[in-house]
Amino acid sequence: MNIVKQSKGYALLITIFIMFLLSSTFMHYVSIYRMEKSFLEMEQDWNNHNHLLMTAMQEVLLLKEHDRGNLVAGNIDLQTGTVNYQIVSNSTIENTIFLYVKTNEGQYRGAKFTYNNHTGEISNWVEGAHIK
């Protein structure tokens, strides 16, 4: 009889509160995991774009060295994507080279830079999705 008098429903309330805390903590950690996963995917895409741009830049400059002056545009197919390039002659000394990257996942990014034919210097490197 003494047990019945002291039970006022606190056990159920405390159990529900503890379950709420555990559920909230679990949902919080799931949210953090999803954010970290999406950040990792974004970082991998960024590294993939950078690798494509750097590889394409080297390939285009090698093609330009062996060119007789008629290299204007083309594309390079790589394992992780495709790069289209365009060469615009500013003068007899400098060319502006545009690189347009499309990954196998369908994401785009571009870059442009100025290449000095005599010194081999690369300057004015600009990249992003806004390069046209």
Instruction: List, for residues 73-86, the tens digit of each pLDDT value.
Output: 899 999 989 999 99
pLDDT score at 84:
94
Tokens representing 49? 């774009």
Tell me the whole-structure pTM to 2 decimals: 0.74
Please determine, for residue 1, whether its predicted confidence score (pLDDT) is greater than 90.
no
Indicate the Cα dihedral angle 56, 58, 64, 65, nearest 10°: -160
Q: Which residue blocks in 66-100 are alpha helix, DSSP H?
A: none
The b/e string for 24-55 (b: 16+ C-beta within 10 A; e otherwise) is eeeeeeeeeeeeeeeeeeeeeeeebbeebbeb
| CB-neighbour burial class of residue 101 (10 A; exposed 0-12, middle 13-18, buried 19+) | buried
